[in-house]
Amino acid sequence: MSLLERSMRTAILRAADDCRVRHVVRRYGMRAGAARFVAGENVESFLEAARQANRRGFAVACGYLGERVTTATEARAACERYCGLLHTFAAESIDANVAFKPTHLGLDIDPELSYALAREVARAASDTGNTMRLDMEQSECVDATLEIYRRLRVEFDCVGFALQSYLFRTAADLERSLPLSPNVRLVKGAYLEPPDRAFQRKRDVDDNYLALAATALSHPGYTAIATHDPAIVERVLQTIEAQQLPKRGRFEFQMLYGIGTDLAERLRDRGYRVRLAIPFGDYWFPYLMRRLAERPANVAFFLKGLIAGG
């Protein structure tokens, strides 16, 4: 990532906290381009996108958009939504699990509330023979998120979490989780993190990603390689082949809805399990801003849509 792209990334992620930007983007944004990254605002549009993804040979991770809720009522509503979705997937034979942010289940209000609600989702996943995963948010949330994961893992096999290769601490976090045979999703990291906590150069983030993947894949557990980066995918495939891992059962690839479609199809055609993370819901603004920040070229495409639609 060039210096200009890095500055744009910072500016976009800062703008995500500006209420005027939020107002304009929320008003026109879905028509202008958010629909490229989000299945829709209601559950029906998600279910349709999930069925379509299944028909194309992809598993799905359902993301009901929401984060940093400020009331226990909102957190409980999100929990009920996730439990309901898991029962719908079982009833309709949809190959989808759920992934959610601990702050959607009230982590900022009370970590104990978030744990209790995450436990309800884990129970629903276990009862329906499915899995659930905790997303990883800003670095301030990492300790509490890992603590929720560890507590759930004592009780359930069906729980997973995510780790970000841009954080200095992640290698140690992964190492500590290895005795649990973890189900871990590896990502690069989507938030603005300071230089005393996170690698700032893409090359360092990528090198750390490869090291983490090699460690996770060489220990018992399940690894989700969540990236659209073809160079990383190719290097991980070399590790997988060197370790003679079976094509299914120990790892999968994951990509976000609307991104990396060609790469996802190529991996699927080679017989690998690929899961598309499909988000839905009306709280899509912060999710959209992170997708724009990852690839500043998306901003031009999005602004064109805003001008045409506005």
Which residues are tagged catalytic? 135, 185
Binding part of the chain for ligand FAD, among 45-53, 65-73, 222-230, 234-242 by CB under 6 A, reads 222-230
Regarding 228 and contact with ligand FAD (CB under 6 A), the answer is yes
CB of 53 to ligand FAD, least distance (A): 13
Query: Which residue, 83 or 277, is less far from ligand FAD as judged by CB?
Result: 277
Regarding 259 and contact with ligand FAD (CB under 6 A), the answer is yes
Among 64, 188, 286, 288, indicate the residue that binds ligand FAD (CB under 6 A): 188
Q: How many CA atoms lie within 13 A of 238 on its CB side?
A: 7
Binding part of the chain for ligand FAD, among 151-159, 167-175, 254-262, 279-287 by CB under 6 A, reads 254-262
Question: What is the rounded CA–CA span in Å between residue 23 and residue 188?
Answer: 29
Query: Which residue, 72 or 285, is less far from ligand FAD as judged by CB?
Result: 285
* Two structure tokens written together for 309: 């639609």
**Intra-chain end-to-end CA distance of the chain, in Å:** 31
Considering only residues 267-286, where is the footprint of ligand FAD by CB under 6 A? 277
Q: How many CA atoms lie within 13 A of 111 on its CB side?
A: 11
Regarding 9 and contact with ligand FAD (CB under 6 A), the answer is no
Question: What is the rounded CA–CA span in Å between residue 108 and residue 275?
Answer: 29
Regarding 139 and contact with ligand FAD (CB under 6 A), the answer is no
Concatenated DSSP letters of 207-268 = HHHHHHHHHHHTSSSEEEEE---HHHHHHHHHHHHHTT--SSSSEEEEEETTSSHHHHHHHH
Regarding 104 and contact with ligand FAD (CB under 6 A), the answer is no
Question: What is the rounded CA–CA span in Å between residue 255 and residue 241?
Answer: 21
Binding part of the chain for ligand FAD, among 20-28, 39-47, 114-122, 186-194 by CB under 6 A, reads 186-194
Backbone φ, ψ for residue 139 (5° rounding): -60, -25
* Count, residues near ligand FAD per rule CB under 6 A: 23
**SS3 state of residue 41:** coil
Q: Which residues bind ligand FAD (CB under 6 A)?
A: 135-136, 162, 164, 187-191, 226-229, 254-256, 259-260, 277, 291, 294-295, 298
